[in-house]
Amino acid sequence: MSKEQNREADAKKEVYPELSAKERFPVSFSIFALARSHRALAAQLLREIGLFVGQELMLMQLWDQDHQSQQSLGRTLRLDHSTVAKSVRRLEEAGLVSRSRSAEDGRVTIVSLTQAGRDLESNVMEIWSKMESVTTADLTEQEKKLLVKLSRKISSSIEKDE
């Protein structure tokens, strides 16, 4: 390292003396850490039934209303077209959904549950129930409500800035 690089490194240390992201950005780091932990738990539990994180959300949408367009699924789940297409392809390869062209508009792809996809509903609901239980185990009812309220407020703030 050159003398100038050493001086620059020392100057940065003076401005941010030994501060980690956790200390410098406590809210963002806490959200990141929570999301990472929650996603890891979901991945572990969903892997047991052959799903990837996020696929269960698409299945939930189809359990609520089957035969939806890919575009509708993307809009509801706030996902871009390529993410939806990839997820639907994987679900189709797993035999959980089928794709067909709309009778009204051949440009539209309709996603429908197969019987195997319908059969996973109770397993996914059980997994989400376990995730909810583990996630909130040490929270009071008041804290749960506050977490939901603050999460929605933060999401709204972020979406305004997009």
Query: Which domains does the chain possess?
Result: 17-136 (1.10.10.10)
pLDDT at 162 over 80: no
Q: What is the pLDDT of residue 21?
A: 80
Q: How many CA atoms lie within 13 A of 125 on its CB side?
A: 10
Mean pLDDT of all residues in 18-23: 74
**Mean pLDDT confidence for 47-51:** 95
Q: What is the mean pLDDT of the chain?
A: 89
Residues 117, 134: Cα–Cα separation, whole Å = 26
**pLDDT per residue as tens digits for the range 78-96:** 899 999 999 999 999 999 9
Among 57, 48, 23, which Cα is nearest to 123's?
48
Q: In the predicted model, what is the mean pLDDT of residues 7-20?
A: 57
If you ran DSSP here, which 8-state letter would residue 132 be given? H
Tokens of 117: 């996809």
* Confidence (pTM): 0.80
